[in-house]
Chain A
C-alpha cells in the first residue's frame, strides 16, 4: 500500500530552527509537496521537490532524497505565526496526491 509518515507533533522555540521529516512509500513518484495549514484554515502550498537536493525559499527549505523515500522541511528563525500543521504529500504514478496526516508544530516564546 501507499504510506506517508511524519511525526504527529513537534515543539520548538521562537527564533530557533526545526526540521520536520517525512518518509514515504508510494507506487511511483511525481514529486513531493509540503503544505502549511493553520487551525481552522485551508492548506496552503509551501514547496515542491521532484529532484534530489535542497530547495530554499526564504526561511523555509525542503529537501528530497528519492532513493531513501525521504524528505524534510526546515524552518529557520521561527516565528509564532509558524505554529501550524505541516502536511507532506506525494504525487504517485497516477498523479494522485497521497497525503500524510500532518505534523502539528507548536512554537513557544
Chain B
C-alpha cells in the first residue's frame, strides 16, 4: 500500500552511462515532482508535472529528461552521467486542487541514491 514508490533505491554506475529512475504514486494526485538532494542536504526542485504537462522546469541540464506515461508515473531519464550527478533523487506528489482549494502538501518517495564513479 506504498503511496509513492521509486526504483531503484540504489544506483551505482560509470560516468557517461544513461540511466532511468522510475516513480509511481497510487494517491490519485494530479502533480508529481523530481527533487535532487545533494551532500549539503538542500532539496532542489528539478521538474514537476501536472496532468502530463510540464509546469516547472528549473535550470537543470538537458541531460535530464522527465517522462510521464500517465498521471500516476513520472520517470527521470539521465543521459551521459557525470560525477556531479551523484546525489539522492526524490520523487514526490501532491493533490493540486481539491474541492476548490489548493492542497499542495507533498508526499515523498523513499529516494534513489545515485553514485556516479
Contacts and interface: CB of A to CB of B under 8 A. Distances in A.
A22 B45 CA distance: 20
Interface in A54-109: 85, 87, 89, 91, 95-97, 99, 101-102
Given A33-B105, A97-B106, A42 B43 contact: no
| Contact size range, B | 10 to 19
Given A30-B104, A33-B105, A97-B45, 14 more contacts: A30-B102, A41-B110, A42-B108, A42-B109, A42-B110, A44-B108, A89-B43, A91-B104, A95-B102, A96-B56, A97-B104, A99-B44, A101-B41, A101-B42
Interface of A: 30-31, 33, 41-45, 48, 85, 87, 89, 91, 95-97, 99, 101-102
A33 B106 CA distance: 10
B64 interface: no
Contacts of A30: 102, 104
Given A42-B90, A45-B107, A96 B41 contact: no
Contacts of A87: 43
Given A41-B110, A42-B110, A43-B90, A101 B104 contact: no
Interface in B76-90: 90
Contacts of B44: 99
